[in-house]
Structure 1
Amino acid sequence: MRRFSSYGPVDKDLHYYAPRKKLVDFGHRQMIGEDPSRGGHYITVWGPRQTGKSWAMRDVLWRIQKDDRFDVLKINLEHLKMETDPAQVLSDLGEEILQGLGKDLIRADTGRKFQDIFAKGSLEKPLILILDEFDALAEDAISAIVGAFRNIYNVRQDQSNLPAGEKDYLLHSAALIGVRRVLGVENAKGSPFNVQRSLHIPNLTFEEVETMFRWHEKESGQRVDQEAIERLFYETNGQPGLTCWFGELLTEGWDGFELPENAPVDMALFKRAYLAAESYLPNNNILNIISKARQEPCQDVVLDLFRTDEKALFSYDDGDLNFLYLNGVIDIEKGGDGRSYAKFSCPFVQKRLFAHFARRIYKNMGGLYDPFEDLDDAINEDRLNVRNIMKRHRKYLVDNREWIFKNAPRRSDMRIYEAVFHFNLYTYLSGFIRRFGGELWPEFPTGNGKIDLVIQYAGKTYGIEVKSYTDRPGYADALKQAASYGKKLNLKEISLVFFTETISEEARKEMEADFRDPDTGVTVAPIFVGTRV
C-alpha cells in the first residue's frame, strides 16, 4: 500500500502523488523545443523547498531517455556547495558530465575547456542537461557556469540557419533547478535563461490534494472526512511538502501517538495532529522558513507584514521580498486594484512564525497581575470578561514599560513594530487564560496582518479581533468586520482591540461604547490599547 511522503522525490510505486501532467508536459516541451530540429530552451526550474522541483524534472528526464535523438543527463550539485573555487567546480561538473556520457575524462577547469565538452565532435548527438540544486553553488561558480552557457547559447543563436545537430555546440537545452529564478538579475552580464519560459512549480490545487486523500481512502479503507481535507488545504495552501507531511501524520500517526485501528481522518484527529505539528514535531521545511524569516534585513520585512493597517506591496525588484517569496515565507496576492501584495504563504506558516517571534521576544512576561487581586470581575468558574482582562493588560503595560519593550525590535524611525504589541497581547492573554484552564489560539484569515484570537473557556467560545486604529471611517469599517467575524463564530458578542499610540479618556469613553450591528445582531465591544512607551 502506498503512503504519503514529505521528504525527497516521490516514488510513484510507493507514494501518493499528483500527476501534474501539464507541468511535466511543459517542462518536456521546453527541453526538446517546439521544433526539436532548431533546439530546445535554456530555462530555470524554480520554487521553494519541497514543492516537487526535482520530482517534476525527473519525470521529464525519464521521458527524454526514451527519445533516441538525444542524450540526457540529470546531475545533482549539492555536494559542490562548499567548493568556493569556480575552476574546481567547472572541473568536477565537467567530469560528471563526461562520466555520464561514457567519455574520457579531462580537466575542464576554465570556461573555454568547459565549453569544449559540449562541442560537436566531443558529443555524438544533442545533449539535454538538467542541473539540480544549482543555486547551492557559490556565486562565482554560478557565474562561471552561466557564462559558459551564455557563450554556447549565443553561438547557437548565430547558427540558427543550421539544424540543431550541426551547430558548433550540441548543448540542445539546459535546466537549472533551484529556488532562485531570475539568474539574469543576479548576474550583471545577463543570462541566456529565458525567464518567461522558466518552469515555476506551484502549490497543489485543492482538487489534487483531495484526489490523493480519496486515493488513500480507497486503497486503505480509512475513512477521510471532507471537512478534514478542506481544513488541511486551508492551513497549508496546498504546499506539497506540508500537505504530504500532514498526510503522514493523519494516516500513520507520529512519535508518541499510535494511530488507533480503523480511526478515521476526521476533524478530531486533524486537530490533534495540528497541535502536535505546531508545537513539538520537527519539520525541516518549517525550520528552514523560520531561519530565512529571522535573517536580517528580512526579519524587519516579516515583522512589518504583521501590520493590520495596510497591506504590503510586492515587487520582484525588492530583494528582501523576492528572497522571502522564493524561500516559501511569503506568497503573492493579486489585489482588486490590479496590484500585487505580499502575504504569508499559508496560515500554518504564519502561525508558526507568529508563535516563534512571540516566544523569542517574550520568553519571560513577569507577573501578569497582582497575585492578591480579586479577579472575579475578569474571570470565574463560568465565564470571562474580555474587557476587564484587557484593563489589566493595559495596567501591565504601564507597570512594566521600563523593561517589557526595552529590547523590542524597532523600525528605522525607532518606533516599535506593531507586531511586537500583537506578540505581547497574545502571550499575555495566553498566559492569563491558560492559568485558569482555558485555551487561546491565533487565526490569520487573510494571510496579511489581520489577526483574530479565539478563546475557549468553561465550554464557551470568545472572539477577539485585533486592529490598528487609523481614523473614524476605518473604525466604523472595523466594527462591521468584527460583527461579521462574530457571526461566523456563532457568537452574540465579540471584542475588538484597537492599538493606537495614544487616546484621551474622553475619546476612550466615546469609542469604547458597545456597538450592536443591525445586520448580524452581533454586539461588538471596542477596546483601545495605547502603544506609546
Structure 2
Amino acid sequence: MRRFCTSGPVDKKTCYYVERPDIMKEALDHIENWRYFTVSAPRQAGKTTLLKDIVEKIKDKYITIFLSFEDYKNIKTEEEFIKIFYEEIIDELKRYNYTVKEVLNNIREIKKIFEKIYEKTGKEVVLMIDEFEKLNNEEIMNTFLHVIRKTYHKKQIYKLRSVILISVGYLSGILEDNASPFNIAEHLEVPYFTKEQVYDLLSQHETETGQIFDEKVKELIWHNAAGQPGLTNGLAYDLVMKKAKGEKIITEKHFEKTLYDYMRVYIDKNISNIINKAKKEKKLTMKILFEPNNIEFNIYDENIKFLYINGVIDNCEGICCVKVPLYYKALYARFKPQTNGERNKMLKFEEDLNKYIDENKNLKLNELLKRYTEYIKSRGAVMFKGRNYYEGVYQYNLDQFLSAYIELLGGKVYPETQIGGGRIDLMVMYNRKEYLIEIKANIIKYEYEIAKRQIKEYIKRKGLKEGWLIIYSNTIKDFEYITEGENGIKLHIWFIKTNFESPSKAK
C-alpha cells in the first residue's frame, strides 16, 4: 500500500504521486531541442521528484547523469572539484553497467567525458545538477560555467544534449554574471499543485484504502497548504496516520486537531525554513504581513527577491503577499506585536461568560464586541496612542481579545482564512457556526464602501446571512455601532476609536 510522502524525492511505487504533464512536456521539448536551461522552486515543492521523473522518461534514449552539488559547499580547490565531480559521474554510469576512464587535469577537460560516453554507447548525455547554488567557490563556478558555455557552442560535437541546473531560486544573477549559455527565458519554475492535483492526490488514498476525506476536509487541505506539495502531503499524512487512523471518514474535527498541532506542537521543516528565512528580512516581512496591499512586488529588489526565491512570499497581482495560509499563520504568530500580558486586562475575573451565548447555543458576537469597546476605552491609550499602527496590528489585538473569550467557551478564532478567491481577516468558529470579520484601519469613505462590498461577497460565498466589519479610526470622536441590510444579508459595522490621551495619563 502506498502512502503520503512527506520528504522527497517521491518514489511512485511507495508514494501517492501527482503527474504534471504541462511542465513535463516543456522540459522534454527543451531536451529534444538541445536546450540548456534552469529549473527552480522552493524546497519541498517537488522539483527533484519532477527531475527524477524526467530521468525515467528519457533514460532509454539518452544517458542521464543526475548529480547534486549539495556537498560541494566546502570545496576549496579545482583538483578537489574534479575528483568529486568525476567520481559522481562514474557512480551514475554504473546504472548503465559501464564506465569511462579519463585523466582530467583541470575542469576544462571534463567535456572529454561526454565524448567518451558517446563513443561507448552511441547515446548523447543529459546532465542534471541539483542544488547548483551550493557550489559557492566563485572561481571554480566561473570556470565550470565557461566550460559549459564552450560545450554549448559545440554541443553536437561533444554530444552533451542538454544541461539542466536546478536550484531553490533563480540562478539568473549567477549565470548572467558568468556569460553562460543559460538564457533566462529558458527557465522552468515548478509550481505548487493545483486544486485538481491536490484532490487527485487525496483520491488516490481513497481508492486504495477505502478511507474517505470529507469534502470540507479536502477544501481545508487545499486552502491551508495552497497546493504546496510538502505541506499538502504532510497534512494528509497526519490525518490518515494519526488523527483518523482506522476510521472510515476523515472529518473536519480531525482536521482541526491536525491544524492545531501544525501551529502549536509540531516542528515542521517547511514552516521552520520559512520562519528562518523571514527572520533575515524581518522588517520587510512585517510590512508585508501587517501592511497588506502596500508593498509592490519587484523581483529586482534584493530583499523581495530573497523572500520570493525562498518561498516566503509570492507575487499576488503585483503586490507582495504570503500566499500559503499555513505560512501566513506561522509568520503572523512569530512576528505579531507583543502585548505584554494584555489577556489579564481583557478578561474580568468575575465575568460570567455564559452571557455571550444565547438560548440556541449561538455566539452573541455583538455582546463580545461591546465588551471589546469597553476594553479599548480603558486600555486604548496604552495600546494605540503614539504608535503608527497598521491594519494587521489592530487585527492581532482583536484576534487576541476574541480568542481569550471564545477559546474558553470551546470555540476557535482563525486569522486570514481562505474564502473562495480571497481571505477574511478573522473567522470565528463556535458550535459549528462561522462568523466572518473583516478589519480596516484609517480608511476614507470610498474605501469604506469597497470594504462593505468585500465582506458582503465573503458572506455570500460562505452561504451565511450576516457578517461583521470593524473600522479602526484615529479621526472619529467616539465608538459607534450600526447595521445595514441588503438582499437578505445583515452587516454589523463597529467603529473603533484609536485616538486617546497619552499613555502616561491612562490608568
- Global fold match (TM > 0.5): yes
Match of 1:224 in 2: 213
State the alpha-carbon separation in 1 of the partners of residues 218 and 347 from structure 2: 45
State the alpha-carbon separation in 1 of the partners of residues 78 and 321 from structure 2: 37
Deviation of the 1:473 alpha carbon: 1.1
Go from structure 1 to structure 2 and tell me whether the alpha carbon gap of 1:146 and 1:482 turns closer, same or farther (over 3 Å shift).
same
Gaps of 5+ in 1: 35-39, 158-163, 335-339, 407-413
Specify the code of the residue in structure 2 equivalent to 1:9.
P
Go from structure 1 to structure 2 and tell me whether the alpha carbon gap of 1:209 and 1:252 turns closer, same or farther (over 3 Å shift).
same
Is the Cα contact below 8 Å between 1:450 and 1:466 reproduced in 2? no
Match of 1:208 in 2: 197
Deviation of the 1:144 alpha carbon: 3.9
The equivalent position to 2:287 in structure 1, one of 284, 292, 304, is 304
Match of 2:395 in 1: 422
Match of 1:390 in 2: 372
Does residue 130 of structure 2 align to residue 132 of structure 1? yes
Is the Cα contact below 8 Å between 1:72 and 1:127 reproduced in 2? yes
Gaps of 5+ in 2: 94-98, 359-363, 503-507
Go from structure 1 to structure 2 and tell me whether the alpha carbon gap of 1:518 and 1:2 turns closer, same or farther (over 3 Å shift).
same
Specify the code of the residue in structure 2 equivalent to 1:290.
I
Deviations 1:426-475 (A, max 9, x none): 23432344345543221344799965222345786543211123211111
Is the Cα contact below 8 Å between 2:65 and 2:92 reproduced in 1? yes
Go from structure 1 to structure 2 and tell me whether the alpha carbon gap of 1:308 and 1:437 turns closer, same or farther (over 3 Å shift).
same
Match of 2:96 in 1: none
Deviations 1:476-523 (A, max 9, x none): 2223333443455566553322234x2241xx46xx341313234313
Does residue 274 of structure 2 align to residue 289 of structure 1? yes
Is the Cα contact below 8 Å between 1:222 and 1:263 reproduced in 2? yes
SS in 1 for 2:177: coil
Go from structure 1 to structure 2 and tell me whether the alpha carbon gap of 1:268 and 1:434 turns closer, same or farther (over 3 Å shift).
closer
SS in 1 for 2:212: coil
SS in 1 for 2:19: coil
The equivalent position to 2:68 in structure 1, one of 76, 79, 86, is 76
The equivalent position to 2:230 in structure 1, one of 241, 244, 249, is 241
Does residue 25 of structure 2 align to residue 42 of structure 1? no
Go from structure 1 to structure 2 and tell me whether the alpha carbon gap of 1:223 and 1:306 turns closer, same or farther (over 3 Å shift).
same
SS in 1 for 2:200: helix
Q: TM-score, normalised by structure 2?
A: 0.84
The equivalent position to 2:48 in structure 1, one of 51, 54, 66, is 54
Deviation of the 1:284 alpha carbon: 0.9
State the alpha-carbon separation in 2 of the partners of residues 524 and 190 from structure 1: 61
Deviation of the 1:174 alpha carbon: 0.6
Deviations 1:119-146 (A, max 9, x none): x468635322111121223162544432
Deviation of the 1:399 alpha carbon: 5.2
Match of 1:17 in 2: 17
Deviation of the 1:175 alpha carbon: 0.7
Specify the code of the residue in structure 1 equivalent to 2:236.
G
Match of 2:320 in 1: 342
Q: TM-score, normalised by structure 1?
A: 0.80
Is the Cα contact below 8 Å between 2:78 and 2:107 reproduced in 1? no
Go from structure 1 to structure 2 and tell me whether the alpha carbon gap of 1:3 and 1:370 turns closer, same or farther (over 3 Å shift).
closer
SS in 2 for 1:196: coil
Quick check: which one's helix share is greater?
2
SS in 2 for 1:514: strand
State the alpha-carbon separation in 1 of the partners of residues 354 and 78 from structure 2: 66
Does residue 165 of structure 2 align to residue 183 of structure 1? no
Does residue 259 of structure 2 align to residue 270 of structure 1? no
Match of 2:361 in 1: none
Is the Cα contact below 8 Å between 2:63 and 2:125 reproduced in 1? yes
Is the Cα contact below 8 Å between 2:225 and 2:324 reproduced in 1? yes
State the alpha-carbon separation in 2 of the partners of residues 452 and 274 from structure 1: 18
State the alpha-carbon separation in 2 of the partners of residues 23 and 487 from structure 1: 36
Is the Cα contact below 8 Å between 1:307 and 1:450 reproduced in 2? no
Specify the code of the residue in structure 1 equivalent to 2:100.
K
State the alpha-carbon separation in 2 of the partners of residues 252 and 370 from structure 1: 39
Match of 1:145 in 2: 144
Go from structure 1 to structure 2 and tell me whether the alpha carbon gap of 1:238 and 1:292 turns closer, same or farther (over 3 Å shift).
same
Deviations 1:380-431 (A, max 9, x none): 4544524323324424643535xx999xxxxxxx945543443333234323
Specify the code of the residue in structure 1 equivalent to 2:382.
N
Q: Which moved more, 1:317-326 or 1:374-383?
A: 374-383
Does residue 443 of structure 2 align to residue 443 of structure 1? no
Is the Cα contact below 8 Å between 1:77 and 1:136 reproduced in 2? yes
Length, aligned pairs only: 486
Deviation of the 1:179 alpha carbon: 1.3
Match of 1:464 in 2: 437
Does residue 365 of structure 2 align to residue 365 of structure 1? no
The CA RMSD measured in Å over matched residues stands at 3.4
Go from structure 1 to structure 2 and tell me whether the alpha carbon gap of 1:232 and 1:100 turns closer, same or farther (over 3 Å shift).
closer
Go from structure 1 to structure 2 and tell me whether the alpha carbon gap of 1:96 and 1:435 turns closer, same or farther (over 3 Å shift).
same
SS in 1 for 2:37: strand
SS in 1 for 2:276: helix
Go from structure 1 to structure 2 and tell me whether the alpha carbon gap of 1:467 and 1:22 turns closer, same or farther (over 3 Å shift).
same
- How many percent identity over aligned positions? 27
Go from structure 1 to structure 2 and tell me whether the alpha carbon gap of 1:380 and 1:492 turns closer, same or farther (over 3 Å shift).
same
Is the Cα contact below 8 Å between 1:493 and 1:522 reproduced in 2? yes
Deviation of the 1:305 alpha carbon: 1.9
Go from structure 1 to structure 2 and tell me whether the alpha carbon gap of 1:214 and 1:367 turns closer, same or farther (over 3 Å shift).
closer
State the alpha-carbon separation in 1 of the partners of residues 355 and 468 from structure 2: 15
Is the Cα contact below 8 Å between 1:515 and 1:525 reproduced in 2? yes
Deviation of the 1:41 alpha carbon: 1.4
Match of 1:355 in 2: 333
Go from structure 1 to structure 2 and tell me whether the alpha carbon gap of 1:8 and 1:460 turns closer, same or farther (over 3 Å shift).
closer
SS in 1 for 2:147: helix
Go from structure 1 to structure 2 and tell me whether the alpha carbon gap of 1:518 and 1:424 turns closer, same or farther (over 3 Å shift).
closer
SS in 1 for 2:55: helix
Deviation of the 1:309 alpha carbon: 6.0
Deviations 1:140-171 (A, max 9, x none): 25444323322322x427xxxxxx1xx2x333
The equivalent position to 2:160 in structure 1, one of 171, 178, 202, is 171
Residues 492-511 of structure 1 mapped to structure 2, 5 A cutoff: 493-500=466-473, 502-505=474-477, 508=478
SS in 1 for 2:262: helix
Deviation of the 1:293 alpha carbon: 1.5
State the alpha-carbon separation in 1 of the partners of residues 432 and 255 from structure 2: 20
Is the Cα contact below 8 Å between 1:357 and 1:423 reproduced in 2? no
Q: Which moved more, 1:130-139 or 1:144-153?
A: 144-153
Is the Cα contact below 8 Å between 1:76 and 1:132 reproduced in 2? yes
Is the Cα contact below 8 Å between 2:108 and 2:144 reproduced in 1? no
SS in 2 for 1:313: coil
Is the Cα contact below 8 Å between 1:443 and 1:451 reproduced in 2? yes
Match of 2:301 in 1: 318
Specify the code of the residue in structure 2 equivalent to 1:112.
R
